[in-house]
């Protein structure tokens, strides 16, 4: 099986396309919940369709009345060598008109989502100043 759409970097300690965890492992329960039991590669960095995704970057999930719902990438899962999923911390981002940036709130929950379900496929860098985390949108993101 070839990984035709992917360039994988920093693969975690697992054999490609094989994951084995003990039944008591909470991460294995998380993977099983989303049906990632076998044929899955776990990594911190992957290039998919020409776009580089790294753990610690974030993606735009949806637009809301007062800002955006963003996901901080924790892990990247590649299923069957063709589909890419992101394990993310979902955060709310509020527009800071004075700074022209988005301010991130605390983590609401952890989810797994497909890159095809993102509002914008371009990952964004996170910036910290003191205890506040900021994101700068590269271009206009509008939900349809």
Taking only the tens place, the pLDDT of each residue in 74-104 is 888 887 778 888 989 999 998 877 777 888 8
Q: What residue segments make up the domains of the chain, in order of their start?
A: 6-135
Fold held by 6-135 = SH3 type barrels. (2.30.30)
For 49: left if phi > 0, alpha if psi spans -120 to 50, otherwise beta; the answer is left
pLDDT band of 64, cuts 50, 70, 90: confident
Q: Which 8-state DSSP code applies to residue 22? A: -
How far is the CA of 12 from the CAs of 9, 67, 110, in angstroms?
A: 9, 34, 20
So what's the pLDDT on residue 94? 87
Residue among 100, 141, 93, 91 nearest 121 (CA): 141
Least confident span in 15-24, 72-81, 100-109: 15-24
């Amino acid at each position: 099986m070839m990984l035709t759409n992917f360039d994988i970097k920093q693969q975690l300690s697992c054999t490609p396309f094989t994951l084995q965890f003990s039944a008591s492992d909470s991460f294995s329960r998380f993977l099983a919940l989303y049906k990632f039991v076998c044929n899955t590669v776990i990594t911190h960095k992957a290039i998919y369709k020409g776009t580089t995704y790294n753990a610690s970057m974030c993606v735009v999930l949806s637009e809301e009345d007062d800002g955006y719902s963003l996901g901080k990438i924790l892990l990247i899962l590649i299923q069957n060598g063709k589909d890419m999923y992101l394990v993310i911390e979902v955060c709310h981002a509020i527009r800071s008109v004075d700074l022209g940036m988005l301010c991130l709130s605390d983590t609401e929950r952890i989810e797994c989502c497909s890159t095809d379900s993102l509002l914008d496929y371009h990952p964004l860098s996170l910036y910290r100043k003191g205890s506040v985390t900021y994101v700068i949108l590269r271009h206009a993101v509008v939900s349809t």
